[in-house]
Amino acid sequence: MTPIHEPGAARRKLVVGNWKMNGGHGANAELLAALQAAGPWVAEVAVCPPFPYLAEVALSLQGSSIAWGAQDCSAHDSGAYTGEVSAAMVAEFGCRYVIVGHSERRALHGESDQLVADKAKAALAHRLTPIVCVGETLAERAAGQTTEVVKRQMSVVVHTLAHCISQVVVAYEPVWAIGTGKTATPEEAQAVHALLRAQLKAATAHAGDMKILYGGSVKGDNAAALFGQADIDGGLIGGASLKAADFAAICRAAA
Protein backbone atom coordinates (compact mmCIF):
# COMPACT_ATOMS: atom_id res chain seq x y z
CA MET A 1 0.00 0.00 0.00
CA THR A 2 1.47 3.35 -0.99
CA PRO A 3 1.02 6.63 0.90
CA ILE A 4 -1.96 8.62 -0.34
CA HIS A 5 -1.91 11.81 1.74
CA GLU A 6 -1.11 14.95 -0.20
CA PRO A 7 2.10 16.54 1.09
CA GLY A 8 1.29 19.63 3.15
CA ALA A 9 -2.30 18.51 3.74
CA ALA A 10 -1.48 17.08 7.15
CA ARG A 11 -3.62 18.50 9.98
CA ARG A 12 -5.52 20.86 7.67
CA LYS A 13 -8.97 20.75 9.23
CA LEU A 14 -11.40 18.32 7.60
CA VAL A 15 -15.20 18.44 7.79
CA VAL A 16 -17.10 15.41 6.45
CA GLY A 17 -20.87 15.23 6.01
CA ASN A 18 -22.36 11.79 6.63
CA TRP A 19 -25.76 11.91 4.92
CA LYS A 20 -26.67 8.47 6.33
CA MET A 21 -29.80 7.04 4.60
CA ASN A 22 -31.14 10.42 3.53
CA GLY A 23 -31.46 12.22 0.23
CA GLY A 24 -33.02 11.94 -3.20
CA HIS A 25 -32.18 13.25 -6.67
CA GLY A 26 -33.82 16.63 -6.16
CA ALA A 27 -32.73 17.20 -2.58
CA ASN A 28 -29.15 16.19 -3.36
CA ALA A 29 -28.90 18.58 -6.31
CA GLU A 30 -30.25 21.44 -4.20
CA LEU A 31 -27.92 20.71 -1.28
CA LEU A 32 -24.82 20.38 -3.46
CA ALA A 33 -25.58 23.56 -5.41
CA ALA A 34 -26.03 25.50 -2.16
CA LEU A 35 -22.81 24.08 -0.71
CA GLN A 36 -20.79 24.92 -3.79
CA ALA A 37 -22.18 28.46 -3.69
CA ALA A 38 -21.27 28.78 0.01
CA GLY A 39 -17.67 27.59 -0.39
CA PRO A 40 -14.75 27.38 -0.78
CA TRP A 41 -13.57 27.08 2.81
CA VAL A 42 -10.19 27.10 4.50
CA ALA A 43 -10.92 23.57 5.70
CA GLU A 44 -11.12 20.54 3.46
CA VAL A 45 -14.77 19.52 3.03
CA ALA A 46 -16.29 16.22 1.91
CA VAL A 47 -19.74 14.66 1.71
CA CYS A 48 -20.65 10.98 1.99
CA PRO A 49 -23.99 10.22 0.31
CA PRO A 50 -25.69 6.79 0.15
CA PHE A 51 -24.16 4.47 -2.51
CA PRO A 52 -26.84 4.97 -5.21
CA TYR A 53 -26.11 8.69 -5.35
CA LEU A 54 -22.33 8.48 -5.69
CA ALA A 55 -22.45 8.88 -9.48
CA GLU A 56 -24.54 12.06 -9.43
CA VAL A 57 -22.58 13.51 -6.52
CA ALA A 58 -19.32 12.83 -8.37
CA LEU A 59 -20.70 14.52 -11.49
CA SER A 60 -21.88 17.54 -9.52
CA LEU A 61 -18.71 17.98 -7.45
CA GLN A 62 -16.07 17.20 -10.07
CA GLY A 63 -13.76 20.21 -10.34
CA SER A 64 -15.14 21.75 -7.13
CA SER A 65 -13.26 22.05 -3.83
CA ILE A 66 -15.60 19.54 -2.16
CA ALA A 67 -14.52 15.90 -2.04
CA TRP A 68 -16.85 12.93 -1.68
CA GLY A 69 -16.82 9.50 -0.16
CA ALA A 70 -18.90 6.47 0.77
CA GLN A 71 -20.43 5.53 4.12
CA ASP A 72 -19.11 1.96 4.18
CA CYS A 73 -17.38 -0.65 2.06
CA SER A 74 -17.01 -4.41 2.12
CA ALA A 75 -13.90 -6.07 3.51
CA HIS A 76 -13.99 -8.32 0.42
CA ASP A 77 -12.90 -7.43 -3.09
CA SER A 78 -15.64 -9.26 -5.04
CA GLY A 79 -17.78 -12.38 -4.95
CA ALA A 80 -20.92 -13.80 -3.39
CA TYR A 81 -21.63 -11.03 -0.86
CA THR A 82 -25.17 -9.95 -1.71
CA GLY A 83 -25.88 -6.35 -0.84
CA GLU A 84 -22.26 -5.41 -0.23
CA VAL A 85 -20.25 -2.82 -2.15
CA SER A 86 -16.49 -3.22 -2.52
CA ALA A 87 -13.83 -0.58 -2.00
CA ALA A 88 -12.84 -1.06 -5.66
CA MET A 89 -16.38 -0.11 -6.73
CA VAL A 90 -16.45 2.90 -4.47
CA ALA A 91 -13.07 4.00 -5.85
CA GLU A 92 -14.47 3.87 -9.39
CA PHE A 93 -16.76 6.76 -8.48
CA GLY A 94 -13.84 9.01 -7.60
CA CYS A 95 -14.34 8.79 -3.85
CA ARG A 96 -11.53 10.09 -1.66
CA TYR A 97 -12.95 8.75 1.61
CA VAL A 98 -14.90 5.84 3.00
CA ILE A 99 -16.35 5.79 6.51
CA VAL A 100 -15.82 2.47 8.32
CA GLY A 101 -16.95 1.36 11.75
CA HIS A 102 -19.68 3.96 12.23
CA SER A 103 -21.46 3.13 15.49
CA GLU A 104 -24.72 2.57 13.61
CA ARG A 105 -23.03 -0.20 11.62
CA ARG A 106 -21.38 -1.64 14.71
CA ALA A 107 -24.70 -1.65 16.58
CA LEU A 108 -27.23 -2.43 13.84
CA HIS A 109 -25.11 -4.77 11.72
CA GLY A 110 -22.98 -6.37 14.43
CA GLU A 111 -19.70 -5.19 12.92
CA SER A 112 -16.75 -6.32 15.04
CA ASP A 113 -13.52 -4.40 15.66
CA GLN A 114 -11.73 -6.83 13.33
CA LEU A 115 -14.26 -6.42 10.52
CA VAL A 116 -13.93 -2.64 10.78
CA ALA A 117 -10.14 -2.97 10.56
CA ASP A 118 -10.44 -5.30 7.55
CA LYS A 119 -12.69 -2.76 5.82
CA ALA A 120 -10.10 -0.04 6.48
CA LYS A 121 -7.44 -2.31 4.95
CA ALA A 122 -9.59 -2.93 1.86
CA ALA A 123 -10.15 0.82 1.48
CA LEU A 124 -6.42 1.57 1.63
CA ALA A 125 -5.70 -1.14 -0.92
CA HIS A 126 -7.87 0.84 -3.34
CA ARG A 127 -6.28 4.20 -2.46
CA LEU A 128 -9.28 5.40 -0.48
CA THR A 129 -8.74 7.10 2.87
CA PRO A 130 -10.73 5.24 5.52
CA ILE A 131 -12.39 7.36 8.18
CA VAL A 132 -12.30 4.91 11.09
CA CYS A 133 -14.96 5.62 13.74
CA VAL A 134 -14.46 4.73 17.38
CA GLY A 135 -16.50 5.70 20.43
CA GLU A 136 -18.08 4.51 23.63
CA THR A 137 -21.75 4.06 24.53
CA LEU A 138 -23.41 5.95 27.37
CA ALA A 139 -23.28 2.83 29.56
CA GLU A 140 -19.57 2.40 28.87
CA ARG A 141 -18.88 6.06 29.71
CA ALA A 142 -20.94 5.78 32.89
CA ALA A 143 -18.93 2.69 33.86
CA GLY A 144 -15.67 4.59 33.37
CA GLN A 145 -14.73 2.45 30.36
CA THR A 146 -14.28 5.17 27.71
CA THR A 147 -10.49 4.85 27.53
CA GLU A 148 -10.56 1.06 27.48
CA VAL A 149 -13.24 0.92 24.73
CA VAL A 150 -11.75 3.43 22.30
CA LYS A 151 -8.23 2.05 22.80
CA ARG A 152 -9.48 -1.49 22.13
CA GLN A 153 -11.32 -0.39 18.97
CA MET A 154 -8.27 1.54 17.76
CA SER A 155 -5.73 -1.14 18.63
CA VAL A 156 -7.29 -3.70 16.29
CA VAL A 157 -7.02 -1.20 13.42
CA VAL A 158 -3.43 -0.33 14.40
CA HIS A 159 -2.48 -4.01 14.51
CA THR A 160 -4.21 -4.85 11.21
CA LEU A 161 -2.85 -1.91 9.21
CA ALA A 162 0.66 -1.93 10.74
CA HIS A 163 2.79 0.84 9.17
CA CYS A 164 -0.16 1.98 6.99
CA ILE A 165 -2.02 3.22 10.08
CA SER A 166 -0.75 6.74 9.35
CA GLN A 167 -2.93 6.77 6.20
CA VAL A 168 -6.25 6.67 8.05
CA VAL A 169 -8.41 9.46 9.40
CA VAL A 170 -9.81 8.65 12.85
CA ALA A 171 -13.21 9.88 14.01
CA TYR A 172 -13.99 9.88 17.72
CA GLU A 173 -17.75 9.67 17.94
CA PRO A 174 -19.17 9.06 21.42
CA VAL A 175 -22.27 6.98 20.67
CA TRP A 176 -24.31 8.90 23.26
CA ALA A 177 -23.71 12.13 21.33
CA ILE A 178 -24.73 10.90 17.87
CA GLY A 179 -28.04 12.35 16.75
CA THR A 180 -29.03 13.09 20.35
CA GLY A 181 -28.27 16.80 20.60
CA LYS A 182 -25.86 15.97 23.46
CA THR A 183 -22.32 16.98 22.57
CA ALA A 184 -19.16 16.09 24.42
CA THR A 185 -17.70 19.27 25.89
CA PRO A 186 -14.59 20.45 24.03
CA GLU A 187 -12.52 19.34 27.05
CA GLU A 188 -14.14 15.88 27.19
CA ALA A 189 -13.58 15.39 23.47
CA GLN A 190 -10.01 16.69 23.64
CA ALA A 191 -9.16 14.27 26.44
CA VAL A 192 -10.15 11.30 24.26
CA HIS A 193 -8.47 12.74 21.16
CA ALA A 194 -5.25 13.18 23.13
CA LEU A 195 -5.26 9.59 24.30
CA LEU A 196 -5.98 8.37 20.77
CA ARG A 197 -3.09 10.48 19.45
CA ALA A 198 -0.81 9.03 22.15
CA GLN A 199 -1.86 5.52 21.13
CA LEU A 200 -1.14 6.33 17.48
CA LYS A 201 2.24 7.85 18.44
CA ALA A 202 3.25 4.52 19.90
CA ALA A 203 2.47 2.93 16.50
CA THR A 204 3.76 5.45 13.97
CA ALA A 205 6.18 8.36 13.77
CA HIS A 206 3.52 10.18 11.69
CA ALA A 207 0.84 10.36 14.39
CA GLY A 208 1.37 14.10 14.72
CA ASP A 209 0.24 14.50 11.09
CA MET A 210 -2.85 12.31 11.42
CA LYS A 211 -6.33 13.80 11.48
CA ILE A 212 -8.61 12.90 14.38
CA LEU A 213 -12.17 14.19 13.80
CA TYR A 214 -14.88 14.63 16.42
CA GLY A 215 -18.47 13.58 15.67
CA GLY A 216 -21.64 13.79 17.72
CA SER A 217 -24.23 16.58 17.45
CA VAL A 218 -21.78 19.12 16.03
CA LYS A 219 -23.65 22.30 15.05
CA GLY A 220 -22.71 25.77 13.86
CA ASP A 221 -22.77 27.10 17.40
CA ASN A 222 -20.51 24.48 19.05
CA ALA A 223 -18.15 23.66 16.18
CA ALA A 224 -15.56 26.41 16.73
CA ALA A 225 -14.99 25.50 20.39
CA LEU A 226 -14.58 21.81 19.52
CA PHE A 227 -12.33 22.45 16.52
CA GLY A 228 -10.22 24.84 18.60
CA GLN A 229 -8.92 21.96 20.74
CA ALA A 230 -5.32 20.90 20.16
CA ASP A 231 -6.06 17.37 18.94
CA ILE A 232 -9.41 17.94 17.18
CA ASP A 233 -8.79 18.23 13.46
CA GLY A 234 -12.34 18.74 12.24
CA GLY A 235 -15.65 16.92 12.37
CA LEU A 236 -17.78 14.08 11.10
CA ILE A 237 -21.23 15.60 10.81
CA GLY A 238 -24.54 13.73 10.57
CA GLY A 239 -27.82 15.64 10.92
CA ALA A 240 -26.37 19.09 10.35
CA SER A 241 -24.81 18.00 7.05
CA LEU A 242 -28.25 17.75 5.45
CA LYS A 243 -28.93 21.49 5.55
CA ALA A 244 -26.59 23.63 3.46
CA ALA A 245 -26.64 26.63 5.81
CA ASP A 246 -25.92 24.48 8.89
CA PHE A 247 -23.15 22.50 7.21
CA ALA A 248 -21.59 25.64 5.71
CA ALA A 249 -21.51 27.26 9.17
CA ILE A 250 -19.64 24.23 10.54
CA CYS A 251 -17.21 24.31 7.60
CA ARG A 252 -16.60 28.02 8.28
CA ALA A 253 -15.91 27.26 11.94
CA ALA A 254 -13.12 24.91 10.87
CA ALA A 255 -10.91 27.73 9.63
Contact 250, 217 (CB under 8 A): no
Q: Is 173 a catalytic residue?
A: yes
Rule CB under 6 A: choose which of 87, 158, 165, 237 binds ligand PEP. Answer: 237
**What's the CA gap between 128 and 117, in Å, rounded?**
14
* Closest by CA position to 119, among listed 53, 79, 168: 168
140: annotated active-site residue: no
Identify which of 17, 11, 12 has the alpha carbon closest to the alpha carbon of residue 31: 17
Exposure letters 116-136 (e unless 16+ CB within 10 A, then b): bbbbbbbbbebebbbbbbbbb
> Which CB sits closer to ligand PEP, 16 or 203?
16
**Site for ligand PEP contains 54 (CB under 6 A):** no
To ligand PEP, the closest distance from the beta carbon of 201 in angstroms equals 25
Residue closer to ligand PEP by CB (options 164, 237) is 237
Which of 102, 104, 126, 140 is an active site residue? 102
Q: Which is nearer to ligand PEP, 234 or 238 (CB)?
A: 238
Q: How far is CA 108 from CA 105, 112, 181, 237, in A?
A: 5, 11, 20, 19
What count of other Cβ atoms lies within 10 Å of the Cβ of residue 183?
21
Binding mask 3-22 for ligand PEP (x = CB under 6 A): ---------------x----
- Nearest Cα to Cα of residue 54 among 68, 37, 64, 44: 68
Report the distance separating Cα 227 and Cα 240, nearest Å. 16
153 sits near ligand PEP (criterion: CB under 6 A): no
CB of 77 to ligand PEP, least distance (A): 26
Q: Judged by CB under 6 A, which stretch of 61-69, 141-149, 201-209, 237-245 contacts ligand PEP?
A: 237-245
Query: Which one from 44, 111, 173, 193 is the annotated catalytic residue?
Result: 173
Residue nearest to ligand PEP (CB): 238
Binding mask 167-186 for ligand PEP (x = CB under 6 A): ------x----xx-------
Q: What DSSP line would sit under 149-174, residue for residue?
A: HHHHHHHHHHHHHGGGGGGPEEEE--
Among 239, 251, 253, 254, binds ligand PEP (CB under 6 A): 239
SS3 label, residue 17: strand
Write each residue from 194 to 233 as x if it is in contact with ligand PEP (CB under 6 A), else as -, in one continuous string: ---------------------xxxx---------------
Distance CA 59, CA 73 (A): 21
Question: Which positions are catalytic?
Answer: 102, 173
Q: What residue ranges bind ligand PEP (CB under 6 A)?
A: 18, 173, 178-179, 215-218, 236-240
